[in-house]
Copies of this chain bind each other. A is one copy, B any other.
């Protein structure tokens, strides 16, 4: 695979610039990105001339199929001792290691007498810029998620339990080829909708409820993530419509203003300013979005603290929300791809407010 070769070469250039002799890659998503290995336990060691891949007995055979550009080693016994021996054998002076590893692991390596240089986010930074194959996988994860939602949509109505909708949505994701849902699906209705990260309960949807649906698909290890909020007909409709419109416009503005060269925090500011100007600033307490790829949450961070510079190839979510405790909440989330200097929206599902007339067509709540 040319992709794997080019990733190894790019990492080697970074390693040279950082003046370390080798990088120990322990983050399992980084391992997958660099090696192609899809299992859950492995690490890699990359030097100027060597690329070594380590996994244990459980994955030896699978790695044989998946990992083609690395010298493969089956790990046995103590990992720290294995690394210490390699560092000696290969005469590695300063070993770079990923600062995302645990302090405990660092301490063990240190005690083993290895000269260490912590490195922050080297591979993560490469992963921020997606190539066309990665974008295609994310788009497939989006298609699966959107198709699944369309199948479940008619069930989102008064009388149906949050959990019943969540179950059905997850099963529709799987039917479309997702190995798993991207994360525990959120179905938050009525009073639950003001808790941005509520789960799913046996609560049935009622008239007047906002229903936040936050879900994501998967395709070949890449994830999608999106949110829609629908409204059940009921009391106080004009205030609810207004809140929805504020969130939706905030989302639109943030996407329109995103430009290559801009700090990621500026996208957050665009959404936040609109919500604050409308008087709901205190009810939007989370960041506006996050990068996505092999992890559901990765860089860039689209928040007040975001410091990445937007660039073509980045894929991230834009998901402002307003959550009024005791009243209800709205979140609308799209995924965008930076392309030609601008943000192109990848998610397609309708974002106009849908109001569902609760005629309780099915009292049992079965879907």
Q: Is the CB of B102 within 8 A of A286?
A: no
Q: Is the CB of A57 within 8 A of B285?
A: yes
Q: Is the CB of B198 within 8 A of A62?
A: yes
Work out how many copies of this chain go into the complex. Answer: 2
Contacts of A131 in B (CB 8 A): none
Q: Is the CB of A62 within 8 A of B195?
A: yes
A331 to chain B, nearest CB (A): 10
Contacts of A359 in B (CB 8 A): none
Interface size class of A (residues with CB under 8 A): 35 or more
One of B40, B77, B99, B195 near A103 (C-beta < 8 A) = B99
One of B59, B76, B97 near A197 (C-beta < 8 A) = B59
One of B120, B179, B305 near A78 (C-beta < 8 A) = B305
Closest to A62 in B: B195
A333 to chain B, nearest CB (A): 13
Instruction: Give complex CA distance A327, B4 in Å.
Output: 31
Contacts of A199 in B (CB 8 A): 38, 179
Q: Is the CB of B61 within 8 A of A286?
A: no
A128 to chain B, nearest CB (A): 17
Instruction: Give complex CA distance A105, B118 in Å.
Output: 12
One of B59, B99, B118 near A195 (C-beta < 8 A) = B59
Instruction: Give complex CA distance A104, B102 in Å.
Output: 8
A35 to chain B, nearest CB (A): 16
Stretch at the interface among A167-175, A226-234, A342-350: A167-175
What string of 1s and 0s marks CB contacts (under 8 Å) between A75-96 and chain B?
0111000000000000000000
Instruction: Give complex CA distance A179, B197 in Å.
Output: 15
Please, could you name 14 A-B residue pairs with CB atoms under 8 Å apart, sorted by A? A56-B286, A58-B195, A61-B194, A61-B195, A62-B195, A62-B198, A76-B285, A78-B305, A97-B103, A99-B107, A100-B104, A104-B118, A107-B118, A167-B171
